[in-house]
Copies of this chain bind each other. A is one copy, B any other.
C-alpha cells in the first residue's frame, strides 16, 4: 500500500477521537486484540499505533487492564527566578522513574545563576509571567 503507513493511519484515527472528545480522559480504548481485528493488522502494528499516542502523552498502556486515554493533570504556576534559564527536554528512563512522569511528558529544567539545577514535570507545571 502506497501512502501513509498503516500504524500512522490507525494512530491518526484514534488521536482524532481523543482530541475531539469522543474518547474521554480515563476511558478505556479497544485492546490490542480488538484493534488487530478492527483494522485487520498484526498485533505489532496495532501496538505501534498506540505507541505513537503514548509518545505524544495522549494514552497509556495499563498492563493486565487495557489502553486508556490519559488524564491530564492541572498545571501549577512556576516562577522563574532572576538570572535563571529554563529549557524543556525529554527525560531519560531514570528521570522518568525519579520524577514519576509517564512517556511523552517533557521536563522543565531550571538552571540558577549558581549552577543549581531544578527539574519540573511539564505536565504539572507552567510558567506564568506576572502582568
Which residues of A come within 8 Å of B, CB atoms?
Answer: 8, 11-12, 15, 52, 55-57, 75, 80-93, 103-106, 108, 113, 122-123, 126-131
Q: Which residue of B lies closest to A93 (CB)?
A: B8
- Chain B residues with Cβ under 8 A from A57's Cβ? 89-90
Main secondary structure of the interface of A (DSSP, over half): loop
Q: Are B126 and A81 in contact (CB under 8 A)?
A: no
Q: How far is the CA of A49 from the CA of B90 in the complex (A)?
A: 16
Known A-B contacts: A85-B126, A90-B104. Give 8 more (CB < 8 A): A55-B103, A56-B91, A57-B89, A57-B90, A84-B129, A84-B131, A86-B127, A86-B129
- Chain B residues with Cβ under 8 A from A130's Cβ? 82-83
Given contacts A55-B55, A82-B131, A106-B106, contact A88 B8 (CB under 8 A): no
Contact of A90 among B11, B56, B75, B83 (CB under 8 A): B56
Q: Are B88 and A108 in contact (CB under 8 A)?
A: yes
Q: Which residue of B lies closest to A4 (CB)?
A: B93
Q: Are B113 and A131 in contact (CB under 8 A)?
A: yes
Q: Separation in Å of the A54 CB from the closest CB of chain B? A: 10
